[in-house]
Each structure stands twice: as C-alpha cells, then as structure tokens.
Amino acid sequence: MLLLLSLGLKAQADGDTLFTYATQQIYENPDISIKIAKELLDKSGATADDKIRAILIISTAYSSKREYEKAMDYALSAMDLLPNLKNVNLRINLFNRIGGLYQELQIYDKAILYLDRALETINKLPEGETKSRNLGINNLLRGFVYRDQMSCEIALNYFEKGIEDYKKFPDSPGGNANISISYYSRGDCLVELGKIDEAENNFHLSLDYAKKANAISAIAFAEKGLAQVYTVKGEYLKSINLLTETLKNTEKVGDKVLNRELYDALSANYLATGDFEHYSHYRNQSIRMHNEIKRTERKTVDESIMDLISLNSEKTAQLEKKTKTIKIIFSILILVTFILLMRSIILSQKRLKSLTNRLKI
C-alpha cells in the first residue's frame, strides 16, 4: 500500500528534478526524501500546489519508515492549503493519502470519511486515465479498510474494482505496481478463506505485474504470498527456498515489517521440518526486528509527546506574556485612577476650604 501511494505522487513530480528525485528516494533513502521535500516546502515563493506536493512526499516517506503519526501530522497540515490549491489531482491524492494513513492507524471511520471526500472529487473528473487511476487507488484503499473492519468477502470486491480501473490504463504511472498489490491482497484474502488454488493464481499474477513494474517490495510480497501457499500445501522446502531468495533481495530495501514477516515465515517452515537450529535463528531475527520496530514506534510517540509539550510551553509562555502585559496595563490604570481620585479629593478639599472661608466672611 505504501508503494501504491508513492507512485501516485510520481505522476505529479516528473516535471521537476528535485520533486522527482525526492519521490524516487522515498523507499531506499526516505531521510533524503524528507530533507529535500522540507527544503521545497520552505522555499521562498512556493505555491500551495508546490507545498502540498512536498508534504505528500514527506508524509509518504515517513510512512515508509512506519512513522505513521508524523506522516499524518504532515498530511493534515496540508488541509490548510486547500483553498489556494489549483491542481485537482493533488486534492484527490491528499484525501486518499489521509484515508490510507487512518487505515494504517486502524481509525476506520476517519479513513472512509476521507476516501469519500476523494471519491466525491474523482466523480467530477471527465472519463480518462486520471479518473481511472484515482478510482483504482480509492478502491484499493477501501479494500484494505473493509478487509480489516468487516471481512475478506467484502474486500475482494473492492480489490477487483481496483484491478479493473488500472487495467483500463496499465501503462499509467504506478499502474502495474498497483495491479500487483491488488492481486496480492486478493490472494491474501483467498488464503484466509481457504481457497488455496485461487490464491496461488492471484499471487502469480501479482508477481508478474510486480516484475513489469520492477517494484522490489511488490515482488517480495508476491513471493511471500506464494511461499505461504507452499507452506499450506506442506511443501516446506519449496517455501524455504523461495523465502530465502526473497529475503536476500529485501534486506537492503529496509522494510522492517516485511523482513519480520519473512523471518516469521522461515522460522515456521523450519519448525515444520524439524530443523530447530534454523528455526531458532530466524525466530531470533524476527524478535530482533520486532523490537526495532517497537523502538521506532516508541521514538515516534516520544517525539510526538515532546512536540506537544513544546507547543504547550510556547502557548503557556505566550499566555504568561499576555497576562503580564494585562497586569501592567491594569496597574497603570489603577495608578492613574488613584491619581485622578486623589486630585479630585484635593480639589474638592480646596473648594470646600474656600467655601468655608467665604461663609466666615
């Protein structure tokens, strides 16, 4: 799903070298993407369209690092720029991006809310590649939501719709990769439903489209799906061989969640064959990767808390400054009032004394 959203960005980045390079680095070097995109975001004279393009790159790069809270913070910050946005496709991408992030965070009502906002804009587009591509992304994201929230039976329909949308324009940016993701997601659901042969066919289709796109992560997921089918069929050595080759290609990509799943699958297959030495090795690798992921998640939460504390401190300082100013003004007013009151009393006393002297005369 991360690949799906980043490729959606590439169509808008081709006209600008820095935007293109930042987008290309999202998975292999997300920190570089973030650095470049932040510079583009802060660039003097940047339009609302430029800023949202930069924010979408930053958000997607943080997602690739599994730092979903930061990804969400940036995506939501772009909402303030919508009134000045000219590119309708960027509006759709932003809504889809936020919807996808809420799905990752398992806040499904919010996910559907933003996917509906995207769909409302998509339906106003004329028929063509742009409309079909955006419908494809929207349907895939809905499939992820309904798979998690409801059932695979419902999700399968949306994955199929996504495939149909993309097959209308298979050469569009991200087309083959997104079709691969759709077939993988269908296969995953079919395994859950016990339809193993049908699942295997979908994983093969996923692998074919992933290779056309030369998308390493998509290839890895498709191969992981096929290995899962082999495991279910009891073909443990076949599964192990495939998973081992897949792991060689993905360890350099740095997707910790994917690698953890591959370690889990290898440990399960070695356990099934009675090879406890390799089982223990990959089990330990899985635990190590799990701990790294948790550390990253805790770091993200800690940074979010620190940002919140910093923001509250700034607000407190501003409030204290305002309060101090009000106190000074109030003190001055009291002093002026006191002076005027004393002046009035003195003048009254003088008038009274003058009047008394007149009466004595």
Report which residue type is found at 151.
S
The proportion of the chain whose per-residue pLDDT surpasses 90, expressed as a percent, equals 37
Q: Which of 263-277, 278-292, 321-335 has the lowest mean pLDDT?
A: 321-335
pLDDT band at 361 (very low <50, low <70, confident <90, very high): low
- Cα 245 to Cα 61: distance, rounded to the nearest angstrom: 26
Report pLDDT digits (tens) over 203-236: 999 999 988 887 788 899 999 999 999 999 999 9
pLDDT of 16 over the 80 cut: no
CA dihedral 123, 127, 128, 133 (to 10 degrees): 20
Span 48-57, mean pLDDT?
91
Tell me, what's the pLDDT at 23?
79
13: confidence class by pLDDT, cuts 50, 70, 90 = very low
The CA distance from 353 to 289, in Å, is 94
In our burial notation (b when 16+ CB lie closer than 10 A, e otherwise), range 155-191 reads bbebbebbbebbebbeebbbbbbbbbbbbbbbbbbbb
How far apart, in whole angstroms, are the C-alpha atoms of residue 90 and residue 154? 29
Q: Is the per-residue pLDDT at 102 higher than 60?
A: yes
3-state secondary structure 59-115: HHHHHHCCCHHHHHHHHHHHHHHHHHCCCHHHHHHHHHHHHHHHHHCCCHHHHHHHH
Residue 94 pLDDT more than 50? Answer: yes
Q: What is the DSSP string of 163-218?
A: HHHHHTSTTSTTHHHHHHHHHHHHHHHHHHTT-HHHHHHHHHHHHHHHHHHT-HHH
Residue 53 has pLDDT above 50, yes or no: yes
Element (H, E) at 308: helix 276-360
**Cα dihedral 88→90→91→93 (10° resolution):** 130
- What is the distance between the alpha carbons of residues 310 and 316, in angstroms, rounded to a whole number? 10
**Which pair of structure tokens corresponds to residue 157?**
């329909």
Of 8-12, 125-129, 179-183, the poorest mean pLDDT is in: 8-12
Q: Tokens 């959203």 belong to which residue? A: 5
Q: Of 120, 99, 127, 96, whose CA–CA distance to 12 is shortest?
A: 96
Written as six digits, the tokens of 16 are 């600008």
> Which residues contact residue 36 at a Cβ distance below 8 angstroms, ignoring those fewer than 6 apart?
18, 21, 22, 25, 57
pLDDT of residue 14: 42
